[in-house]
Amino acid sequence: MDKIKIGIPRSLYYYYFKDLWQIFFEKLNIDIVISPKTNKEIIDKGISMSNDEMCMSLKIYIGHVSYLLDKCDYILIPRIDNYGLENQTCTNFLATYDIINNLFNKKIINYNIDLFQNETELKGFLKLNKILKRNKKQIKIAYEEALKESLNIKDKKMMKNINNLKNKKIKILLLGHPYNIYDEYIGDPIVNYLKNNNIEIIYSDLFDSKKCINKSNILTNSCYFKYNKENIGSILLSKKYIDGIIFLTTFPCGPDSLVNELVMRKINTPFINLIIDDSNILTGFETRLESFIDILERKKIHE
């Protein structure tokens, strides 16, 4: 029988699970293909296939999926409902599997994380045994090793991020969901601009998730969006060291619209709020970033 090939869209879930997935499939000797960095074609395709009210990030995701259609046998789309009731995700993370399944006629490989219903990540992976043609024992071993190694990789990145806090340069916390921060078209232009201007970027996703979630209580005590709690926690863990914060959001992100608003009303650190949608995704934010950096530099001199 032919070997199967699994397609992974470089968007949304990818930025949370890329190491885990890559190592896992490598260990099981299963081929994967990852869509390229977001490009104009992917964006256009995504916009044309999606409902115009969907958020920009989901539109881009749909573009990545359509890129992969003829390049693999299955597309990997997990469903992530919650990590307990007080740690839920955005409803798009619940719905993407079904949206894609109805939009395209393509086989999907899918697992579900719903800790409230006792559906763990491991259980989800084990259920993939038939499609992957591997036995449960093989999967369990591969998963556990991949998990360990991916956590090690993250630890190293976090160490670097935290070390950067001690840097003498101007430091800006880039706060947003990883699928936005690291996207070629959303976060990259901002990251590049900051780097070219000699700014040290602190990434909101490279902090310990548990610590962040615990700390987030200080700024918001009724929040139940896991990813937003992680973002907010990063402010509290880094605020002594950073000069400013950039809130990066895609239009119209539901959880961000509420949580970021509340947080912006409570913090003293200087910040700007950048909202990306399909009309400004290509034009950039140079002017706003330039003036923001100016303000931070002046402030630093005065201190």
Partner 1 sequence: MKNCYLGIDIGSISTKAVIIDDENKIILSTYIWTEGNPISSTKNLIKKIKGKLPNQYIIKGIGTTGSARKLIGLMLDANVIKNEITAHAIGTLSIYPDTKTILEIGGQDSKIIIINNEVITDYSMNTLCAAGTGAFLSSQAERLKINIEDFGKYAISSNNPVKIAARCTVFAESDLIHKAQMGYNKEDIIAGLCKSIVLNYLNNLSKGKKIEQRIVFQGGVSKNIGVIKYFNEILKTQVTVDENSHLMGALGIAILAKQNKTNKIYNLDLLNVKFETKGFECNKCSNNCEIIKIYKENKLIDAWGSRCGRTFNDENNVKS
Partner 2 sequence: MGNYYIPAKYLLSHILDVNILDPVKITSKTIEIGTKYSPEFVCTPFKYTLGTLIENIEKKSNILIQAGGGCKYGYYAELQEKIIKDLGYDVIFINLVSQGKTDFKKIYHEFKKIDKNFNIWSSLYYLFITTKMIRYMDKIDNYIRHNIGFEIDKNDFKNTNQEMLNAFLKTKGFFDLFKIYKKYNKKIKKIKVNKPKECLKVGIIGELYTIMEPFSNYFLETELASMNIEITRFTNVHYLLFEKKYKIKKEMKRIKKYIKYKMGADAADNIAHTKYLCDQKIDGIIHIKASFCTPEIGAMPIINKIAKEHDIPVLFFTFDANTSEVGIKTRLEAFHDMIERRKKNEKLLSRN
Task: Give the residue with the Cβ less far from partner 2, 77 or 132.
Answer: 77
| Contact flag: residue 279 with partner 2 (CB under 8 A) | no
- The candidate with the shortest Cα–Cα distance to 253, out of 130, 93, 134, is 93
| Distances 76 to 15, 112, 209, 244 between C-alpha atoms, Å | 13, 12, 24, 37
Binding partner 2 by CB under 8 A: which of 8, 12, 55, 212?
55
279: partner contacted, choices partner 1, partner 2, none (Cβ within 5-8 A by kind): partner 1
| Contact flag: residue 301 with partner 2 (CB under 8 A) | no
Task: To the nearest 10°, report the CA torsion of 146, 177, 234, 19.
Answer: 10
Binding partner 2 by CB under 8 A: which of 1, 70, 85, 301?
85
Phi first, then psi: what are they for 55, rounded to 5°?
A: -75, 155
> What whole-number distance in Å separates Cα of residue 216 and Cα of residue 223?
9
Binding partner 1 by CB under 8 A: which of 91, 152, 280, 291?
280
- The candidate with the shortest Cα–Cα distance to 75, out of 43, 110, 45, 99, is 110
Q: Smallest distance, Å, CB 276 to partner 1?
A: 12
The count of residues interacting with partner 2 (CB under 8 A) is 43
| Contact flag: residue 78 with partner 2 (CB under 8 A) | no
99: partner contacted, choices partner 1, partner 2, none (Cβ within 5-8 A by kind): partner 2
> What whole-number distance in Å separates Cα of residue 239 and Cα of residue 158?
16
Binding partner 2 by CB under 8 A: which of 11, 22, 57, 88?
88
Binding mask 12-51 for partner 2 (x = CB under 8 A): ---------------------------------------x
Contacts (Cβ under 8 Å, ≥6 apart) of 300: 170, 243
258: partner contacted, choices partner 2, partner 1, none (Cβ within 5-8 A by kind): partner 2
| Contact flag: residue 222 with partner 1 (CB under 8 A) | no
Binding site for partner 1 (CB under 8 A): 47-48, 51-52, 277-283
Binding site for partner 2 (CB under 8 A): 51, 53-55, 79, 81, 85-86, 88, 90-92, 94-99, 101-103, 110, 112, 220-225, 251-255, 257-262, 265-266, 275
